[in-house]
Structure 1
């Protein structure tokens, strides 16, 4: 079960409570009291940081559980900002199970939106993996974009995550 809070506080870019090494990047984690606020993909050579709080430790444990088992279901309190439309898109994305994908267009039809607006909401997602925007692909079956990019490291990360989930 994932609990959500929609108030946003801005934190400095290096204010991580943990930095976790993964096969595809280092994940910078931010927490705010009892809420996970951000997961950021950092370059693979970024130094790791042991969890500084109990919540950061729990987030790391759950991310490592996902890396060991792509079917792992996260149970975290999420501090979500964004517009009403973005939150609707993110909820639709959370409903996509591991090992499955949906197209930007399919989500747009479901939400009475446009594929580009769904893609923009994906690009604004501050909690990747937990809100698995990597499971959203182009209508053609291609990868589409990822992290507001159409090539390079972001698509390498998306490809790794999808392969990890058996896609």
Structure 2
């Protein structure tokens, strides 16, 4: 499986490809580095996104995350959340069916964070969790990068 790593403001990230689709984005530097056309384009897109996420729009390359049908349904909804906006686990549960807890579990298992923007989903009374290497600090950083104004009253579970 081809992998390609990049330096980012959040630390090293590694993209993985299978059958011409991105299947994961992981924190850390991958052991093997293969510059396929898709991975190179995805790396370049991410570099530009970190410079100005509002100028990039949605990730334009094919994604194929591994997961259950329910998880994939939730991840598809995540891709529709515009840059700089947020939703809650409860609001997402109302749209896809299920409970806020089941949505939270699916969001937490997202294998392609940032590209499938799980950082845009918040808890009703706070930030919620984040599965990135820096945890909630990374989530807050990503939201602020996108211009989201976090309320000073909003509990930030760090």
TM-score (norm 1): 0.80
Identify the residue that residue 138 of structure 1 maps to in structure 2: 123
| Higher-strand-fraction structure | 1
The separation in 1 between residues aligned to 2:94 and 2:68, in whole angstroms, is 18
Q: How does 1:1-167 map to 2 (within 5 A)?
A: 17-42=3-28, 46=29, 52-71=35-54, 72-73=56-57, 74-140=59-125, 142-147=126-131, 153-167=134-148
Aligned residues of 1:16 and 1:28 also touching (Cα < 8 A): no
Contact 1:35 1:79 in 2 (8 A): yes
In 1: Cα distance, 2:128 partner to 2:82 partner: 19
> What per-residue deviation string (whole Å, max 9, x for no partner) do you get for residues 89-134 of structure 1?
1111111101100000110111221011111111111111110000
Over 3 Å counting, the alpha-carbon distance change for 1:65 and 1:51 in structure 2 is farther
How many pairs are equivalent?
146
Q: Following the alignment from structure 1 to structure 2, what is the Cα–Cα distance between the partners of residues 119 and 47?
A: 27
Shift of 1:80: 2.4
CA RMSD of aligned residues (A): 2.0
- Residue ranges of structure 2 left out of the alignment (5+ in a row): 149-158
- Change in CA separation of 1:47 and 1:162 when aligned onto 2, cut-off 3 Å: same
1:18–1:48 CA contact under 8 A, matched in 2 = no
Q: Which residue of 1 aligns with 2:156?
A: none
User: What secondary structure is seen at the aligned counterpart in 2 of 1:107?
Assistant: helix
* Equivalent residues of 2:2, 2:33 under 8 A apart: no
